[in-house]
């Protein structure tokens, strides 16, 4: 019984050590090509409430931005809207 516990403990330790070893990936250090030199995609967030009249005033501006940027591949923008 004691031998089986020792074997189990050694096996668990071995698996832990093996799983913690980092394996080098094939990723290169070359920079990726991004539109306009961007490295991140901008996000336009609009969280409003129907019970907040000043908040609802931004709707026309957000709609204008969405129409302007939605099909422009050189200006990738993600729009998130929640009412």
Neighbours of 61 (CB within 10 A): 10
CB 74 within 8 A of CB 33: no
Radius of gyration of the chain (CA): 26
Could you tell me the residue ranges of all domains in the chain? 38-83
Q: How far apart are CA 25 and CA 28, in angstroms?
A: 9
**pLDDT tens digits along 25-77:** 666 666 666 666 667 778 888 888 778 877 778 888 888 888 887 777 677 78
The reported pLDDT for the residue numbered 30 is: 63
Global confidence as pTM: 0.42
Q: For the chain, where are the alpha helices, taking DSSP H only?
A: 2-20, 53-56, 59-69
CB 49 within 8 A of CB 55: yes
């Amino acid at each position: 019984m004691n031998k089986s516990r020792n074997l189990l403990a050694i096996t668990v330790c071995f698996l832990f050590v093996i799983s913690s070893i980092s394996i080098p990936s094939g990723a290169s250090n070359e920079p990726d090509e991004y539109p306009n030199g961007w490295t991140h995609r901008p996000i336009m967030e609009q969280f409003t409430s129907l019970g907040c009249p000043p908040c609802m005033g931004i709707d026309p501006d957000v709609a204008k931005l969405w129409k302007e940027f939605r099909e422009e591949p050189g200006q990738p923008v993600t729009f998130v809207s929640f009412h």
